[in-house]
Structure 1
Amino acid sequence: MTALCVSVREVVKHYCLGKVIIPALQGISLDVAEGECVALCGTSGSGKTTLLNIIGCIDQPTSGTVTVVGKPVLTFTDSQLAELRNRAIGFIFQTFNLIPVLTVYENVEYPLVILRLPKSERKARVDAMLAAVGLLAHQRHRPGELSGGQMQRVAIARALVTAPRLVLADEPTANLDSRTGLTILDLLKTMNRQHGTTCIFSTHDHQVLRYADTVYTYQRRVPGGGWRTTMMVQLAWRNVLRNRRRTGMTLLAIVSGMTGIIVFGGFIEFAFVGLRENRSFARSWGIFSSINRGIPSMVWLRHIPI
C-alpha cells in the first residue's frame, strides 16, 4: 500500500472579524499518496488557498488533524515547522512573495542558503532551474523589473530548487500565457514522475486538470450564496447598534446639511425672481440685476446704504 504524503481529517477553519465568525473550511478530509498529483478545483472564495496554507504549515486549523510527510504538524513548534517547510515543502504562491531587494538569482538561491549547501552546488541548481523556466538571461534583474508572468516563474523556480517531497501550487498558471503555462506544468509533471514529488494544485485552469491524477471539485459548505456579503452586512449593523449616539448625530448632521442646501437653493431662486420683477427693489438694497440672454448676473455696488 502506498504511503500517504498528506492526510487531512475533519479540518475546520474559522476567521474572526470582530465578533463575527467567518467559516472558511468546514469538516474537510483529504488523503494524498506519495508521488500523487492532485488538483483542487473550485470557485473563488471556496477555501482552496486556506487549505493549501494549512497543508503547507503556514496556517493552522481551528480544529481537526493534519499530517504532512508523515509528521503530525499541529504538534510542532514554530522552528520545527520552519525546518519542515524549508526541507520538504515547495510553495508556489499566487502573490509571488519575492524579496524585492534581491535579484532573480538570489531569490531562487535563498532557500539553498538556508539549507547551507556549498556555493558550487547552489549555483548549479539555480542555473538549471532558471534555464528550465526560461529566466537565465534575467538572473540579475530585481522583481520590480519583471512582468507578472516572469515573477510567477521566479516563484516556481524558487519552490522547486530544493527538490522538495511536496509541492503546493496556488493557481500556478494564473499569470502565465498558455505556452509558458504548459512548459511549467511539464516541468512539474517531470519532477513528479522522475523524483516521486507529490504535487497539489489549486486551479480554475482546465489544462492544469489534465496533468492531475486526481481532481477534487471543492465547494464551500455554507448554505446559500453571498455569505461574505451577508457577514459584512451583519457586522455593519452591529456597529450601528453598538454606537447609537454617534449614528444618531451623524444622521442629524446629514439631514441638517441637506435641509440647509434646499433652503439656500430656494432663497437664491426667490432672489432671482425678485430681481427680474423689481429692479428698483434691487437698487434700493444695493444690487444691480442685469439680464444677459435670460441669465441673471448679480453685481454688488461699492457702497451699500444703511
Structure 2
Amino acid sequence: MKGKRVLSVNGRNPVASALLLHAIERATGRQIAEVFDHIVTVSSGSVVAALFLVWPLTLGTKEPALALLDIFANASSFREQLALHFRGKSIRELRTEFTCICYELSRRERFIFSSETRSNVNDGNIDLELSLKASCSGSFLQDPLILETGKNQFLSIVDGSVFGEDPTSYALRELRRSSSGEPRLIVSLGTTEEDSAPSAKSKPTDPPSFESLILFSQAASGVVYQEEAPVFLKSTESPIDIVRLAPTVSASGGLTIDQASFERQITATEKYLSKESAAIESLASRLRK
C-alpha cells in the first residue's frame, strides 16, 4: 500500500485501545511499530503506544490490559522502567515516527516525554535517553519540540495544553502539509463524537470533516455496546482511508485504576473483538500490504 499509515490513539479508554492493538499485532503477525509509519497519541493513549513500542506484547505472557493496570497503579515505577528501556535506543530502532502528547496518569499529575540529551541533538544520528518528567502545573513545554533522528524519522513532543484537537485531525493536517496526495490509511483508536464535529478553527485548506464510526460510547452506568458493524470509511474529498475503532468507554472521561472497572472494560472489548473478528482481519490484511 502506497502512502503513509497512521495510528492515532486518544485517551479516555486505554484498555480498549491496548486490546485492539494487541489484536492487530496478532492478526498481522507484526509489531505495531513495524505496521504504522506514524503514531500520534494523546492522554493515556500515550501510555498505550509507549507500552507497545517498548515491549513486544505478542511475545509476552501478560495481557496488555492487565499490564496497563499495573502501570496506572504505579506511575513512578512505569516512568523508571520506560526510561531504562529507551536508554541507549535511537528512535530509528523504533522504525516509526512517534508524536507523543503529554498525558495524565491521574487528576493530580501530568507527564510528558522529554529528552535528557535535548541540547546535544545533532546530525540526526544520536541515541536518545528518554524519561518521563512530571509537571503538576500548566505547560511543561512552551513550544513543540522535534528531535531529528534521521530522514523522515523524528520524535515530536507537543504540550497538551496547546494541542487543542484530537490526534487524528492533527495527523491528517500534518500529513497533508508534509506529503503528496497519495492514499493513506488512518487507524484511530478512542475517538469521540466531538472529535468528528466541524471545528470552529477549521480552515478551507484543512482536510474535510469525516464521519466517525462509534463502536463504544459513554454511559453513566458502565459500557454501552453499540450494534454498528465496523466499516472502512472513505473520504470522497480527500485521498485518505480512515478506520475508526473503539471510542471511549469511560463515562468520566478520565482514567480509572479500579480493577473491577478494568475487568468490565476488558470483557466489553473482548466481546467486541470476538464479534468483529472479520473486520479486524480485514484491517490486518490491509496493514500487511
- When normalised by structure 1's length, the TM-score is 0.29
Higher relative contact order (CA 8 A, sep 6+): 2
Q: Whose helix proportion is higher, 1 or 2?
A: 1
- When normalised by structure 2's length, the TM-score is 0.31
